[in-house]
A and B are shown apart, each in its own frame.
Chain A
Amino acid sequence: MPLQGTPHEVLAGLGELTRKVRAAQRGTWFPLLLLGVLMLGGILVSRFTFQVLTVPCPATAPAAGVGCTVVKQGSPLYWPIGIALAYAATAFFYIRRSRNRGVGTPVRPYILTGIALLGVVAATSFWSTRHGIPRPGEPLDFWGLHLDPSSEMTRFLERLVGNATAVGLPLLVLSWVERSRVLLLLTAVYVAIELVPLPTGWSGIPFTSPWFFLPRYAVPGVLLLLGALGFGLAELPRRRNAS
C-alpha cells in the first residue's frame, strides 16, 4: 500500500487507490452493447413496419389535387420498450457486479436519467401515434409548438429529441458517473453523428426502399458496438489481475 513517505507520495498513493476503485466500478461495455444492439434492431423494425402511402397533396403544393407519396416506418412501441429494457438490464448488471466485486456503484444518476428519458420518449411516441403522419407541407403542432416540417430547425429538433437524446444523454451521464474521458469522447462522436444530417446518397438506397433507414441506424449502432468491444477488451487485463 503506497501510502507512506512524503506528503507528495501519500497524495499520489491516494490517487492510485481512487483509480483502482474506479476501475473496479466500471462496466461501460455492457450499456454500450445493449444500446448498440437496440440501434441495430431499429433497422429491422423500420424494415418490417415499412409502408408506402398515398395521401392528398396540400393545396399549396405544385402537385395539388394529385396524390403525394408518403413513407411510414417505425413502431411507437419499439424505442420506449427497448430503452426501458436496456435501462433495467443495465441497472441489474451494475448492482449484481457491485455485489460480486464488493464495491459500490454510483449508477443511481444513470437510472434517474433513464426514468426521465423514458417519460420523454413515451410522450413523443404517444404524440406521433395520436396525430398520425403529418401530410406533406402541413404544419406540425407539437405540444403547443408550431413547427414548419420543411425547416432546418424542425429537422434539427427532430434529430435532437430522437436518438441523440435517448441514447446520447445516458452515455453522457455514464461518462460522468464513471469519470471516463474516453466514454465522453465516444459520446461526443455519437451525438455528432446523430445531430449532423448524414448524406445517405453513398449507400445508393432510394427513399422508397424499406432499407432506406439502414445507414441511419447502422453507423451509430456499429460505433456503439465497437465502443463496447473496446471497453470490454480494456477491462480484460484488470479482470485477470483481480482473479
Chain B
Amino acid sequence: MTDQPEQHPVTGLDDVVHQRVRLGILTVAHQARRVEFGFLRTALGLTAGNLSQHLAILEKAGLVDIEKGYEGKRARTWLSPTPAGDRALRDEVAQLKRLIHQIEHGSSAPES
C-alpha cells in the first residue's frame, strides 16, 4: 500500500471560480444575497458586456441564479448565489488560505 502524495493547494482551485472577475461577483453576491447588475458593474468597475459574459459562465455552472424583470419602465437584472455558488466561494477562499500557509510555512495547513 502506497501513501497518496499530498495535493498542492493550487490543484484545488476551480478555474470557473478562480478567475478574478467571477471571484469578485461571487463575493459581492454572497454578501448581498441579492444584487443588481448596475451595483455589481460599479463595484467591480466593469463594462456591461464584460460583466454579462462572466455572469453567463457562472449561471451555466449553476453558481448564480439570474432574474430579469422591470421596475416601472426600467429593466433590471438581479442575481443571487445558489448554494453551490456559496460552497464554491468558501472552497476557493479556503484553498487560497492553504496556499498562503504553504508559501509562508512550506507545508499545507489543515483543512478549514
- Who on chain A is nearest to B41 by CB? A102
B23, B32, B93: most-surrounded residue (chain A CB, <10 A): B32
| Interface segment, one of A20-28, A160-168, A186-194 | A20-28
* Given contacts A1-B44, A1-B46, A11-B93, A102 and B23 within 8 Å (CB-CB): no
A52 within 8 A of B: no
How distant is the Cα of A121 from the Cα of B39 in the complex, in angstroms?
A: 39
B96–A21 CB distance below 8 A: no
Contacts of A8 in B (CB 8 A): 100
How distant is the Cα of A1 from the Cα of B103 in the complex, in angstroms?
A: 24
* Given contacts A1-B44, A4-B20, A101 and B39 within 8 Å (CB-CB): yes
Distance in Å from the Cβ of B81 to the closest Cβ of chain A?
10
- From A7, A98, A102, A242, B100 is in contact (CB under 8 Å) with A7
B27–A18 CB distance below 8 A: yes
Interface residues on A, range: 20 to 34
- Who on chain B is nearest to A18 by CB? B31
Distance in Å from the Cβ of A151 to the closest Cβ of chain B?
47
Contacts of A101 in B (CB 8 A): 36, 39
Interface residues in B12-53 (C-beta closer than 8 Å to A) = 20-21, 23-24, 27-28, 31-40, 42-46
B96–A7 CB distance below 8 A: yes
A103 within 8 A of B: yes
Contacts of A20 in B (CB 8 A): 43
- From A10, A11, A22, A98, B20 is in contact (CB under 8 Å) with A10
A74 within 8 A of B: no
B99 within 8 A of A: yes
- From B24, B33, B44, A104 is in contact (CB under 8 Å) with B33
- Who on chain B is nearest to A20 by CB? B43
A106 within 8 A of B: yes
Contacts of B40 in A (CB 8 A): 102
How distant is the Cα of A3 from the Cα of B18 in the complex, in angstroms?
A: 10
A77 within 8 A of B: no
A22–B31 CB distance below 8 A: yes
How distant is the Cα of A99 from the Cα of B72 in the complex, in angstroms?
A: 12
A17 within 8 A of B: yes
A11–B33 CB distance below 8 A: no
A14 within 8 A of B: yes
Contacts of A13 in B (CB 8 A): 24
B35–A1 CB distance below 8 A: no
Write the residues of chain A forming the contact surface with B, with a CB cutoff of 8 angstroms.
1, 3-4, 7-8, 10-11, 13-14, 17-18, 20-22, 24-25, 98-99, 101-104, 106, 242
Given A13-B24, A14-B93, A99-B71, 9 more A-B residue pairs with CB atoms under 8 Å apart are: A1-B20, A3-B21, A7-B97, A17-B24, A25-B32, A98-B34, A101-B39, A103-B35, A104-B80
